Amino acid sequence: MADCNLKANKDQCTCTYAICSRKGKCCECIAYHRKNGEVPGCLFPPDVERTYDRSIERFIACYRT
């Protein structure tokens, strides 16, 4: 994680889960959610992100046209 810019990542992070230990650590966040069959919150619209439903099904439903 030597190339990670934690401050810039945190400043741009849209995740509202305040106690998340991975906030701003994008590579850790992606790995965590992938391991759990989920999608990181930053890829959801704000109103859906706040529900903390990170399921792949919910992600697909958000962007199905």
Give how far the C-alpha of residue 44 lies from the chain's centroid of Cα atoms, to the nearest Å: 8
Q: How far is Cα 65 from Cα 2, in angstroms, rounded to an integer? A: 39
For the stretch 19-28, contacts whose Cβ atoms lie closer than 8 Å and that sit 24 or more positions apart, written own/partner, are 25/1, 27/1, 28/1
Residue 17 lies in a domain: yes
pTM flag (> 0.75): yes
Structure confidence at residue 4 as a pLDDT band (50, 70, 90): confident
Residue 50 lies in a domain: yes
Our count of domains for the chain comes to: 1
Provide the mean pLDDT of the chain.
Answer: 93
* Residue 30 structural domain: 6-63
